[in-house]
Chain A
Amino acid sequence: MPIFDQGYQHWKGKLTGHAWRWLAITRQGLRVQLKGRYVRLLLVLAWMPAMALVSALAIWGLIEQGVLGADLVTMLKSQGVVDDLQSLRQAIWTIAYSLFFKVELYFILLLVTLTGPNLISLDLRYNALPLYLSRPITRLDYFLGKLGVIAVLVAAVAVLPTMAAYLLGVCFSLDLTVVRDTWRLLPASILYGLVIVVSAGTLMLALSSMSRRSLYVGLTWVGLCVISWMVAGVLGLVRLESLDNQVAREAEAAQRDKAQQELERVRQRPKDDSQEFDEMDFTQPLEESDASPVPPQPPVLPPRKRPGQSRRFDWQERQRLVHQEDVKSRKTNWRPLFSYADNIDRLGAALLGTDAAWVQIGRVYERRRVQVESMAGISPGGWSNNYNYKAEPANERCLAELWNVPQYPWTWSAAVLAGLLGLSLCILSTRVRSLDRLR
């Protein structure tokens, strides 16, 4: 027997409290996940948007200090477009954070795809649940531990970079009033990260508990994200098409009314004309006649449902009207609710206040546009010879509309995500049972 073999010795060390037992599961899960080459690669790639965020905040800080773009800022100030850059600070930071999260969300979903599927399915496959459940931990600890793996990864690529970016942004601005203007972004980012973790994490855990094969879980997750996005996209296209048809119908009706009015006007002319007019056959196309003088031409009434009628309608005008209708009805557009990613994005926009930020920037942009157009007599369609041209009224929402900032109530998305969360918890509680069963 080796001299160092002292046989079994009792252990008299100190145990940690029960509250943090789940951390052991998280640590072990992370250790296993980070062994994967693709996970490490994706983590590095997922930090790229964070670099862009830091750069954007740093550049804005330098602009505020006048180190960058000083001439442009002076010009804008002199023309009364911007009063001072500090008033735009909150909007610029919010938009930077919003764009960061928009891009990062896709990295997060990809990261969850790589790391989530085997979190529970592997334990089910190798019958490891007795190992956990026969220890002094509860099922809740087990779930928290597994969820913690996703939480740490999301925090590493989304929440921590935003906090680091915030600090760097404050440093580059060399102005502590930045904190006063932008502090809301910090809790909003943390809360948004929490929403992503809870929603995507529990959904992935629920999927992971439904199969012993990680591959099937991964495919289901990808299918859920992609198919839900495609369904929402198709429904959105159908909506635009129906708006287009509606606009065409309305334009057609307006044109018909106009023609009817013209007809009435012609009928009320002197009798000679009207007699001749009454003898005319309106249903036949007009033929060119050599006779002169040309009798007054009655307007041709459009047939009620002539094929290709909408083509006559000016295409640009039609697009403008469709866009107008689209914008008008965005607040009640429920189609994005079908897309899982869009729902998370909607909550992010609500938490960060993206819409208000775009409106603020849009206000400045429109002020400048109206100013320039009024001075130069520029119409939206090009140069105008009319020096009395009046610029289109300012639309402060133009940028928000351009960037498709979601307008429907965020509570709808919250309700969808809450429903998914409830379903996930239900699946988890039934699939990962205790050992209270025969086999």
Chain B
Amino acid sequence: MLFSLQNVTKTYGAVTALRQLSVDVPTGAVGLLGPNGAGKTTLIRTLLGLIKINAGTGKVLDMDVRRQRLKIRQAVGFAPEDECLFPGVAGIDFAAYAGQLCGMSRSDALQRAHEILNHVGLGEARYRPVDSYSTGMKQRLKLASALVHDPRLLILDEPTNGMDPAGRQEILELARDLAHGKEMSVLFSSHLLPDVEFVCDYVIVLGQGRLLAQGEIRELKQRHDQCFEVRVKADAPAFAQRLRKSNCNVKEQDHSLLVQLPPGQSERLLWSLAAEAGQQIRHLRPQQSTLEEIFLKAIE
């Protein structure tokens, strides 16, 4: 288990950031979704042992979030969303410093920092002061600093913010590679659902401090056998009317119809009704939810 929380509540004065949150998350690449104020940052801080929770218990990598905070932070790498690079330090020194803060000797940290900076694609720029870096370079450096001590869990908070498409794709591929090829768990928090979908296999959706949905993305996006997306050549509203008369639940979309068949029926009903109405079906496929739909449905 990557982490597991039971009835965790965290309040900041009158604001309740997490409400009796209980969640068990398996190892691997996990996406963390939720609208603003859903409690994502508080959840991350709880996992890192940076905050004291008001109630509940939790474990990260089998370590208690209340009692083993330093051990958790030793095993976790965190790349925060905010800019946190202080000026006057070269990129290589910054990454090495992050390693030293985790207990690496100076020489080890320097050697490891070079390896990781190579990996994240920060080439000769590593010798430049960080205050001269572009946003994309800063994101890479933050990722390198989080990776330098070889954590078991990597927490990335909006890692592709401000990156150009090519850089974004590189970071996503790196994160995916770490999660799928290097036996490192990744908790990926982002507003960009395609990014989460690209990197993660598992997703949890938070809203107002509660768990709204969780599960394997593949399963959440499962095909709906009784629900079809249908596009006809001619009068779609008339065909929809005809379908409704046959007890189908029809939702008209811009260029297609979303049809839910009555129980016990198959897509043959659609073909027969189209033949009776003299309509040509140009497009017919079982409906499959997108991550966006899952997300929107969850926060409704």
Contact = CB atoms under 8 A, between A and B. Distances in A.
Given A135-B102, A437-B12, A13 B108 contact: yes
B97 A28 contact: yes
Given A126-B86, A434-B50, A435-B45, A134 B103 contact: no
Which 3 residue pairs across A and B have the least CB separation, nearest first?
Answer: A15-B103, A24-B100, A11-B150
A131 interface: yes
B67 interface: no
Given A136-B103, A436-B50, A438-B17, A11 B84 contact: no
B35 interface: no
A137 interface: yes
A434 B103 contact: no
Interface string B205-237: 000000000000000000000000000000000
Interface stretch (B112-120, B164-172, B186-194): B112-120
Given A15-B102, A16-B105, A122 B182 contact: no
A35 interface: yes
B50 A134 contact: yes
B134 to A, nearest CB: 17
Interface stretch (A2-10, A153-161, A405-413): A2-10
B80 interface: yes
A32 interface: yes
A122 B97 CA distance: 16
Contacts of B76: 134
Interface string A416-439: 000000000000000000111110
B101 A132 contact: yes
A13 B88 CA distance: 29
Contact of A123 (B86, B88, B115): B86
Contacts of B2: none
B258 interface: no
Contacts, number: 111
B26 interface: no
Contact of B97 (A14, A16, A24, A136): A24
Contacts of A7: 119, 177, 181
Contact of A136 (B74, B86, B112): B74
A134 to B, nearest CB: 4
Interface of B: 12, 15, 17, 45, 48, 50-52, 70-71, 73-74, 76, 78, 80, 82-89, 93, 97-98, 100-106, 108, 112, 115-116, 118-119, 145, 147, 149-150, 174, 177-178, 181-182
A135 B118 contact: no
Contacts of A32: 88-89
B102 to A, nearest CB: 6
Contacts of B45: 435-436
A18 interface: yes
Contacts of B145: 131
A436 B54 CA distance: 12
A18 B84 contact: no
A131 B98 contact: yes
B103 A17 contact: yes
30 contacts: A4-B118, A5-B118, A8-B147, A8-B174, A11-B149, A11-B150, A13-B112, A15-B104, A24-B100, A24-B101, A25-B101, A31-B93, A126-B87, A127-B82, A128-B84, A128-B85, A130-B78, A131-B80, A131-B85, A133-B50, A134-B73, A134-B78, A135-B73, A136-B73, A136-B102, A136-B103, A137-B70, A137-B101, A434-B50, A438-B17
Contact of B12 (A4, A15, A438): A438
Interface residues of A, number: 41
Interface of A: 4-5, 7-11, 13-18, 21, 24-25, 27-28, 31-32, 35, 122-123, 126-138, 434-438
B12 A9 contact: no
Contacts of B178: 8
A127 B100 CA distance: 19
Contacts of A24: 97, 100-101
A181 B74 CA distance: 51
B60 to A, nearest CB: 13
A436 B53 CA distance: 9
B150 to A, nearest CB: 4
A8 B108 CA distance: 16
B70 A138 contact: yes
Contacts of B119: 5, 7-8
Contacts of A4: 118
Contacts of A129: 84
A35 B74 contact: no
A11 B86 contact: no
A25 B83 CA distance: 19
A134 B98 CA distance: 10
Nearest to A134: B78
B13 to A, nearest CB: 8
A436 B52 contact: yes
Nearest to A2: B118
A10 B182 CA distance: 8
A35 B105 contact: no
Max chain B C-beta neighbours (<10 A), residue from A35, A133, A138: A133
Max chain B C-beta neighbours (<10 A), residue from A16, A17, A131, A133: A131
Nearest to A22: B101
Contacts of A436: 45, 50-52
Contacts of B181: 7-8
A8 B50 contact: no
B98 A18 contact: no
A127 B80 CA distance: 11
Nearest to A135: B101
A127 B83 contact: yes
B17 A8 contact: no
Contacts of B88: 32, 35
Given A434-B51, A435-B45, A436-B51, A135 B84 contact: no
Given A8-B119, A128-B85, A18 B15 contact: no
A130 B84 contact: yes
A386 B45 CA distance: 90
A131 B112 contact: no
B133 to A, nearest CB: 13
A8 B146 CA distance: 13
Contacts of B12: 437-438
